[in-house]
Copies of this chain bind each other. A is one copy, B any other.
Amino acid sequence: MKLTILFGGASFEHEISIVSAITLKEKLHDFDLSFVFCDSEHIFYSIDKKKMKANTFSKGEYKKMPQLHLAQGGFTQKSMFSSMHHTGTVLNLIHGADGEDGTIASLLDFFSIKYIGPRIDASVFSFDKRYTKYLANAVGVKSVKYEVLYADRHTDIKMPFPIIVKPSRLGSSIGVSIVKEESELDYALDTAFEFDKSVIVEPFLEGVKEYNLAGYKANGEMFYSIVEEPQKEEFLNFEKKYMDFSRSEQVLKADISEELIAKLQASFEKIYDGLFEGALIRCDFFVVDGDVLLNEINPIPGSMANYLFEDFKQAIEDLSESLPHSKRVKSTYEYIHSISAAKGK
């Protein structure tokens, strides 16, 4: 199948998006792939498939490649004599800001470009950890209790240490700290507030079981990946996560009961249903005393969590056949006509 991979973006996860795109180039090598790069100035470039390597971007070589512009139905390439269109389905692979906050979704929707990825509402609920809590609460999925702090006002934290401090709106562990005692708190808050105006505080759950599950809806049905138990460390730092985004080999299934798998899938579906259609997402869960708690939603997981699927290519093909498209309302000017007619009487 034809697929345009859109990657880059002006975000802290710009580089891991490049790594994700390079990984998918290998993983989907028998697709008819093309690559569109969004640089941190928000300029789009058409990237020659053969040049899809990290140096092309870090050395700025992409700037010699053709610029693209958004137009109704696709990306347009202005050249001397013609204007080419990249009109196929787009895979939104921009992690973090731009890609996961709803901006790219809006652009693609506005210009009537078909895409795999979270729609605008889904993006807003997954990008900000506060809003993920609102969602989980509203659809009846448990999550870790939390408090919100704001940079511009002082609020005492009510929960006891150890706690985990996270900027509300970043992924990939950026700005996240575990705070074991009062003396470490100020530094952790300063770090988190460097990245966002609001910060989420949660109890740090020691020895908790963590499980990741990816999935998508196609033809009205949910499809799930295997459940993975991610490697156990206090939490992944950015560099480790970065390497993690280049994974392409299928991982081992977590050794858990069918009953727990069913519970994880049921929670996943409550979050996904009616909101994430069109996207392949990964939900990260905690299991505490048999309760499934939502930790976070990755609406564009690193390298699309390809390593969790037995047949990743089929997943992308199925999903691309089931993309939602918004109806565009045409104006009939019925009210203006009727008012003009009334005035003319």
Contact = CB atoms under 8 A, between A and B. Distances in A.
Interface of A: 10-12, 14-16, 18, 40-43, 54-55, 57-58, 69-70, 72, 97-98, 101-103, 105-107, 109-112, 120-121, 124-125, 128, 130-131, 133-135, 137-138, 150, 197-198, 238-239, 242, 274, 328-331, 333-337, 339-340
Contact of A106 (B103, B134, B335): B103
Contacts of A57: 333, 336
B15 A336 contact: yes
Contacts of A333: 15, 57-58
A42, A98, A120, A239: most-surrounded residue (chain B CB, <10 A): A120
A42 B106 contact: no
A321 to B, nearest CB: 18
B331 A14 contact: yes
B72 A331 contact: no
A127 to B, nearest CB: 8
A332 to B, nearest CB: 9
Nearest to A10: B328
Nearest to A97: B329
A74 to B, nearest CB: 13
A198 B274 contact: yes
B103 A15 contact: no
Closest 4 interchain pairs by CB? Answer: A106-B106, A58-B333, A14-B331, A58-B336
A14 to B, nearest CB: 4
B98 A110 contact: yes
21 contacts: A10-B329, A10-B331, A12-B329, A15-B331, A16-B335, A40-B331, A41-B72, A42-B111, A55-B340, A58-B337, A97-B329, A103-B120, A105-B106, A106-B106, A121-B124, A121-B128, A133-B138, A134-B134, A150-B274, A197-B274, A239-B335
A137 B136 CA distance: 13
Contact of A328 (B18, B40, B55): B40
A216 to B, nearest CB: 17
A242 B342 CA distance: 14
Contacts of A55: 336, 340
A134 B54 CA distance: 42
A15 B69 CA distance: 29
A279 to B, nearest CB: 16
Contact of A242 (B128, B197, B238, B335): B335
Contact of A11 (B41, B242, B329): B329
A312 B335 CA distance: 27
Given A103-B110, A106-B107, 19 more contacts: A14-B329, A14-B331, A15-B335, A40-B328, A42-B72, A42-B112, A57-B333, A57-B336, A58-B336, A58-B340, A101-B120, A102-B102, A103-B120, A106-B120, A121-B124, A121-B131, A124-B124, A197-B274, A242-B339
